[in-house]
Chain A
């Protein structure tokens, strides 16, 4: 019998199939990846890092019940949480294990609810849409009127966040740079949105948005989206890890021969509880800055 081929998770197979079916998608992803490498080498990403970029945000609240129509206070608490984590002002960074304290970095990115809508009119940066749908899936229907949701504002000028009820117990999902503008942004379960109101433990510190906005800024999961240690997150200072970590792991959790320190499970791009994720690595910050210098260069400027 032939030796079994390398293990492959479902995710990677589907991703590779999508890349085969849509050569344009592969081409665009490759171009973005090359651009990011070039901008990091030439120091463009580092120049962005020295500026404080404030990203205008629109929050689309889509609701059927009164409880799903989360308050302005709850929406604003999410912006505060994003600014805490993307400004490295989180007090719980004190829990970073000693070997990685020096590796945790400040993205120096801030967020503010939009003050002008796409037509130039004053706005609160919050839209409220009543829907007949009890819940939404991951097929992006929340991002269109026809789907019972609310359409995106222009993605080159705004970060679109949707707060709704998601089916299947999912907390949120995102879209990498380079995808269609009409679906660009982040969808978050309303009970994991912000830090007050209807939020529920253990996802009550606004970090589902921190994680999803990381994807929007082109960060990948620290386990590289394969279950065989063969994946990559395109960042060299996050140790190779086999699988997502959940809950509140105990340091160290070793996989993929990454001892003695193991998986960087306290990173925002793992799957742990809100209280257990506390840092971005220096490499991730460079990658986010390269994204703001490249595929998202218009936003906030």
Chain B
């Protein structure tokens, strides 16, 4: 696949779960017109290498946590401040659409 430009990833991505197919999750920029939802995960990938993740909490209130991120071998690596690392395989990255495989 075409190498991913990390610069294209520098924004707040919100899970557009209505567009998911199979094991692939679609994220759209926060400016996208999202319909109401019980909750959405969001990833704010910042140019300084830090990120903030927001996800529905146990009572549906969004909750945030963060750490540092990098692109490594076609995967988005999120290293949480607590020490845990998530690897998300990037299927495609365009300015208005990020697709990852879980």
Contact = CB atoms under 8 A, between A and B. Distances in A.
Interface of A: 4-11, 13-17, 138, 168-176, 189, 191-192, 200, 203, 208, 211-212, 215, 220-221, 225, 227, 243-244, 246-247, 271
Interface in B56-95: 56-66, 80-87
Given A10-B63, A13-B80, 5 more contacts: A11-B56, A14-B57, A17-B65, A175-B59, A211-B38
Contact of B61 (A9, A173, A189, A243): A173
Nearest to B82: A13
8 contacts: A7-B86, A11-B63, A13-B82, A15-B57, A169-B36, A225-B57, A271-B37, A271-B39
A215 B65 contact: no
Given A192-B36, A244-B56, A170 B62 contact: yes
Contacts of B41: 9-10
A170 B53 contact: no
B80 to A, nearest CB: 6
Contacts of A227: 102
Interface of B: 17-18, 20, 34-41, 53-66, 80-87, 102
Q: Max chain A CB contacts within 10 Å: which of B17, B60, B82?
A: B60
B17 A169 contact: no
A8 B63 contact: no
B72 to A, nearest CB: 11
A129 B92 CA distance: 47
Nearest to A3: B85
Contact of A176 (B17, B59, B85, B87): B59
Nearest to A277: B38
Q: Which 3 A-B pairs have the closest CB atoms?
A: A14-B63, A10-B53, A10-B65
A221 to B, nearest CB: 7
A245 to B, nearest CB: 9
Nearest to A247: B18
Q: Max chain A CB contacts within 10 Å: which of B39, B59, B63, B83?
A: B59
Contact of A246 (B17, B59, B60): B17
A153 to B, nearest CB: 20
B54 A138 contact: no
B17 A10 contact: no
A220 B62 CA distance: 15
Nearest to A16: B82
A189 B36 CA distance: 9
A13 B59 contact: no
A170 B39 CA distance: 6
A172 B18 contact: no
Given A169-B35, A225-B57, A271-B38, A10 B84 contact: no
B59 A174 contact: yes
Contact of B65 (A6, A14, A171): A14
A78 to B, nearest CB: 16
A169 B37 contact: yes
B82 A244 contact: no
A252 to B, nearest CB: 15
Contact of A225 (B18, B40, B58, B87): B58
A208 B63 contact: no
Contacts of A176: 58-59
Nearest to B79: A4
Given A8-B82, A15-B63, A246-B17, A169 B34 contact: yes
